[in-house]
Amino acid sequence: MKKLAALLLSALFLLPLTACRTKETASRAETVQERYAALTSYTAAAAVELADEEENVRYTLRFDADAEETKVTVLAPELLAGVTAHLAADTLKLEYDGLVLDAGGTPGGVSAVTCVPLALRAAGEGWLTERSEEEIEYGGGTVRALRLCFESEAGGETIQCTLWFGADDAPLRAEIAEKDKITAYMEFTSFAFCDTIAEPAAERFSLPRGTPCVTLGRKAVNLYGEYTEAHMGGDQLG
């Protein structure tokens, strides 16, 4: 009887706490959605991994976005380093070493250059399907993150976007799934809300120097162009 009474008392104490946490998570989720709905300008760097039919393709990319266009610069692999894609409303231009190529219309589906903009757009415009807070392995340690799942659209197809946000609302990682299969994985190494801050450093999220961005064989290239033995974290694709 004493054990039963103790269990009942524990339940009474836990229920209000759970309800309180659920309310806080819902409130924060709403704040994040509002923030990304208003987002027009940001800079970011991310390790991007795409699921191909035969093997996963990995890139390190820098994103510079404003109200007019999103500029995506390849940092790795070395063979493509320096190639820049300019994404506007309905155009795509490729630039390298001063040469510019008009590549036609903007690709509507999930690709290396569109996955980050698609995930961030989903955070502001997508249909929220799940929300929770959880501990994740990130940057060599464990951090508490807000996990939000959205249903959105790309190229006329329905996609599912899952994003993990840090305490400052900057994205830590993201996944895009199509037909219940993860097709793109992103791990952010820096992010700045350029249109909502007085001083860039105030809201800049970055990992310590030496943090890997993406694997290239047995080596990795980080945001600072350094090579290091590393493995990009996150769930396996495919």
- The pLDDT of residue 223: 34
pLDDT of residue 86: 93
Q: What pTM was computed for the model?
A: 0.74
In a domain, 72, yes or no: yes
Please give the pLDDT value at position 201. Answer: 37
Structural domain of residue 183, as residue ranges?
Answer: 2-229
Tally of domains within the chain? 1
| Long-range Cβ pairs for the range 38-41 (8 Å, 24+) | 38/124, 38/196, 39/120, 39/124, 39/193, 39/195, 39/196, 40/65, 40/66, 40/67, 40/195, 41/65, 41/66, 41/67, 41/193, 41/194, 41/195
> Which residues in the chain show pLDDT less than 50?
4-19, 196-238
pLDDT of 202:
36
Residue 71 counted as domain residue: yes
Q: What is the pLDDT of residues 101-150, one digit of tens each?
A: 777 666 678 999 999 999 999 999 999 999 999 999 998 999 999 999 99
Q: List the CATH number of the domain containing 202.
A: 2.50.20
On whether residue 235 sits in a domain, the answer given is no
Q: What are the pLDDT digits (tens) for 200-218?
A: 333 434 444 343 333 323 2
Q: What pLDDT was estimated at residue 161?
A: 98
Q: Is 236 a domain residue?
A: no
Flag whether 187 is in a domain.
yes
Residue 107 inside a domain? The answer is yes
